Chains A and B, each alone.
Chain A
Amino acid sequence: AQSVTQLGSHVSVSEGALVLLRCNYSSSVPPYLFWYVQYPNQGLQLLLKYTTGATLVKGINGFEAEFKKSETSFHLTKPSAHMSDAAEYFCAVRSNRDDKIIFGKGTRLHILP
């Protein structure tokens, strides 16, 4: 069965600094990977996704993620944090074996002025 591990339930970065949110997955078949963002009292919004092809994926709001099969990782980055990036971020994995979409426990990103 597939699973997702997000390292760090809370991450704090200064405004303008690099954002790095970590995600490792476990899947017995080629995975499809997603990052979602959730702002307070809202639903989840897709940031980006990896399906096949290019391993560096660009998403909305300046975020990108790199799929590394050898490390079973899909870390999310943004070169320069903005106050508006404060939110909770979820990594998710989907396989073509059973179509379940499994989420990690989430990382809350805090932006320091």
Chain B
Amino acid sequence: DAGITQSPRHKVTETGTPVTLRCHQTENHRYMYWYRQDPGHGLRLIHYSYGVKDTDKGEVSDGYSVSRSKTEDFLLTLESATSSQTSVYFCAISEETVNTEAFFGQGTRLTVV
């Protein structure tokens, strides 16, 4: 398995509170991605990063922010969690060459009550 660690693996939080999910890699890959997985919607890209301090929006970025201050860490922050953000969140990493696949972490199950 690629060296990707997501933390926490499970979290329950209250509406309106800030939440930060962490993705840590040991592969030194350039690209990092955050997805959310919901029944009937598959995986939807939230934000991605193509280098330290270089990030861009995905398909469903509203209500989320990201930061990447070093190669190995990519943080996803929900500034004020809402029930619609209850989901399973996956981090993925990929090498620089475009014909390479993404490797996924084990996911974080977030419940907003």
* Pairwise interchain contact A99-B48, C-beta atoms closer than 8 A: yes
Given contact pairs A42-B106, A44-B104, A101 touches B40 in the complex (Cβ within 8 A): no
Number of A residues near B (Cβ < 8 Å) is 27
* Pairwise interchain contact A101-B104, C-beta atoms closer than 8 A: no
> How far apart sit A43 and B93, CA to CA, in the bound complex (Å)?
13
Given contact pairs A52-B99, A90-B43, A104-B42, A98 touches B56 in the complex (Cβ within 8 A): yes
Contacts from A to B (Cβ < 8 Å): 6, 9, 32, 34, 36, 42-46, 49, 51-52, 90, 92, 94-96, 98-106
Please give, as numbers and ranges, the residues of chain A lying within 8 Å of B104 by CB-CB distance.
Answer: 36, 43-45
Identify the closest chain B residue to A91 (Cβ).
B42
* Pairwise interchain contact A43-B101, C-beta atoms closer than 8 A: no
| Cross-chain contact of A43 among B31, B42, B59, B105 (Cβ < 8 A) | B105
Smallest Cβ distance from A90 to chain B, in angstroms? 6
> How far apart sit A106 and B42, CA to CA, in the bound complex (Å)?
5
10 residue pairs, one from A and one from B, having the closest CB atoms? A105-B42, A51-B99, A43-B104, A103-B43, A96-B98, A44-B104, A106-B42, A46-B101, A43-B106, A103-B42
Please give, as numbers and ranges, the residues of chain B lying within 8 Å of A98 by CB-CB distance.
Answer: 56
| Cross-chain contact of B35 among A42, A46, A103 (Cβ < 8 A) | A103
B50 at the A interface (CB under 8 A): yes
Residues of chain B from 2 to 61 with CB closer than 8 A to chain A in the complex:
31, 33, 35, 40-45, 48, 50, 56, 58-59
* Pairwise interchain contact A43-B107, C-beta atoms closer than 8 A: yes
Smallest Cβ distance from A110 to chain B, in angstroms? 15
B71 at the A interface (CB under 8 A): no
Please give, as numbers and ranges, the residues of chain A lying within 8 Å of B101 by CB-CB distance.
Answer: 34, 46, 49
